[in-house]
Amino acid sequence: MYSPKFIINSAILRYIGKIEAAKEVIENAPLVPAYEAKFRQEAIIRTVHHGTHIEGNQLNTGEVAAVLEGEGVPARDRDVQEVLNYRNVLKYIDERRTTNDKRYEFTEKELLAIHKLTVDKVLAPDKSGKFRNTQVVVKNSKTGEISFTPPKAGEVKGLVSDFIRWLNGEDAEDLHPVLKAGIVHYVLAFIHPFVDGNGRASRAFATLVLFSEGYDIKKFFSLEEYFDRDAKRYYKILQSISNQKVISLSDRDLTGWLEYFCEGLAEELARVKERVQKLSLDSKLKGRTGQIMLSERQVKLVEYMEKFGSISNRQWRSVLRDFSDDTILRDLKDLQKKGLIKKKGSTKGAVYVLK
């Protein structure tokens, strides 16, 4: 049975430590539902855009957002279809991981379903959601040079079945979910089970692993953006592992790839954490008050007080230009009632500060 070969070096440990720290902050940040919904939608758009762009899709982020909203864009039919397909893949992943209340069992059927959704109306039906029965090669898109030759078609089903058995076994159960997802990404990309859509299917299945093991992290992040930001490095690292002079898949040293994979998730979550913290209450304040639901206006008022120490009548009018004095005063009174702020001074010269 397949068994991954790698070393948990100091870099991997450091990145996992950063991932865990960011996960803790993000999952416990007291955000209003409107912000959470916004973060999730942005993550979907970024994941769909970068997950397809890295494969050659020509739509930009704005066009992807428009397509997902049902709007028409002047683009190739294939590009539009790939965007819709990957959105459907993310929906499938979300539905699958929420239907299991016991330890998740991964299946070949899921991998085939993800591939079928990925290439719907892009690949011929007889090749969609089916393992390849022909040899394929990976070429440099600019030079045409063959950079990697995946296993023979006759070996594909056996390699996938063997790998899925490992993924559901005790050895995999003991692995950190991020390492497990990284291994899934590499192994499926190496096997290249399909004639097309292997990259998207591999990344999507790795996402399913993360989500099913409690690492959806509110679905605020997009690992695909990290890969696409420096696609040359992404493919170079994958290729360097695949071109090792070993015969067995189990003999390939995945350390370099897992270090890169962990670095990517750590970097992406650190970026998300910074955004979340800007919209969250001070940690001490949260410790005293718990998860307090605030409106977007109230969040802006609290953020201003956190940054500058206080807010006056003139200042809150500047911060919330589009709202009446009565509306803002009601928000301030509500914040006082919740015990988050207090008022200092007379009516005209009053300032509000955090308690």
The position carrying tokens 């959470």 is 36
Rounded to 10 degrees, what is the CA torsion of 200, 214, 34, 270? -80
In sequence order, what are the beta bridge partners of 344?
351
Q: Give me the sheet containing 351-354, strands edge to edge.
A: 311-312, 351-354, 341-344
DSSP tag of 344: E
Q: Which two tokens stand for residue 39?
A: 């973060």
Catalytic option among 50, 53, 115, 192:
192
Report d(CA 130, CA 116) in Å as an integer: 8
Residue 215 Cα to chain centre, angstroms: 10
The dihedrals phi and psi of 245, each to the nearest 5 degrees, come to -80, 65
Report d(CA 321, CA 341) in Å as an integer: 21
Task: From residue 1, give the alpha-carbon distance in Å to each of 106, 131, 155, 164.
Answer: 16, 20, 14, 10
CA proximity to 50, closest of 40, 61, 62: 61
Residue 242 contacts by C-beta under 8 Å, 6 or more apart in sequence? 148, 189, 190, 252
Is residue 192 among the annotated active site residues? yes
Active-site residues, by number, are: 192
